[in-house]
Amino acid sequence: AQTVTQSQPEMSVQEAETVTLSCTYDTSESDYYLFWYKQPPSRQMILVIRQEAYKQQNATENRFSVNFQKAAKSFSLKISDSQLGDAAMYFCAYRIGGGATNKLIFGTGTLLAVQP
Amino acid sequence: GAGVSQSPSNKVTEKGKDVELRCDPISGHTALYWYRQSLGQGLEFLIYFQGNSAPDKSGLPSDRFSAERTGGSVSTLTIQRTQQEDSAVYLCASSLWALDSNQPQHFGDGTRLSIL
C-alpha cells in the first residue's frame, strides 16, 4: 500500500528566509504524481506544486521548488523568500498514474509559521 | 461557478441524526472526490465519481456513509445515524477528467461537521 510521511508536525521560518518541508513516500509503482497542497485557516486546499515521477527535473513555481529524489522516495518542498501569507498547513500527497485509481493519498501535514 | 462550492459550511447535529453534505463542482469537471479530514490529521479519501458512476468507493468507512451524484454535477454525501467519530471536515474536490492523472484536483472549503 502507498503511504506518505511528513515527519515535521511544525516548522517555523523568519520572513524572507528559506525553509524546507520534508516528505517521504512508499510505493512499488513507477508511474505516479506527487503534490504539495497548502491549507490556510480558510480550509481550502490550494495546489502549490506538482511533480511527475517520470520527470527528472525538479518542478518550480515562483518561490516554491521541490527536491525530488526518486530512488530515496523523497519529495521535499523549499519555500524561498518566505512571506507572512505562506503561513499555513502544508500537505504532501501522492497519486498513482495511469488512471487505475485517482485518489490522493496525503501525509499528516506540516504546520508552517512565518515570523515577522 | 468559479470554484468548488460546498454547503453547509458548518453543521452541528445530535448523535443519531442523519446529515447530508452537498458539493457543487467546477463547471465542466467530470470527476468529483470526497475526502474527510479529522482533527490534526491529513485527508482521508472516501469516494470518487466519474460522471454519475463511483468507480472507487473504497474509503467509505461504514455502510452508514453513502454518496450519489446526479446529472454529472452536484453530489451529496449522506451520513446516517451519525456518531461522534464522524466529526470532521468533509472536503470535496473536482477535476476535469479522472482518467487523466495529470489533472489537478481543485478543492472546496469543506463542511465542518460536529456531532454532539
Beta strand spans in chain A (E): 3-5, 10-14, 19-21, 24-26, 32-39, 46-52, 60-61, 64-69, 74-79, 88-96, 105-106, 110-115
C-alpha cell at B98: 479522472
- CA-to-CA separations, B46 to A7, A32, B35, B77, B78, in angstroms, rounded: 24, 20, 5, 10, 12
Mean pLDDT by 10-residue block, N- to C-terminus, for chain A (116 residues)?
Answer: 92 97 93 93 90 91 96 96 97 80 88 96
- Residue A27, chain B, CB below 8 Å: the answer is no
| Residue A59: DSSP 8-state | P
CA distance B75 to A77: 33
User: Which is higher by pLDDT, B40 or B101?
Assistant: B40
The residue among A42, A43, A50 with the most chain B CBs within 10 A of its CB, best to mutate, is A43
Residue B1 has pLDDT above 60, yes or no: no
User: Which residue has cell 505516479?
Assistant: A32
Residue B86 has pLDDT above 90, yes or no: yes
- Residue A98, chain B, CB below 8 Å: the answer is yes
- The whole-number pLDDT of residue A101 equals 64
User: What mean pLDDT comes out for the span B38-51?
Assistant: 88
- The whole-number pLDDT of residue A100 equals 56
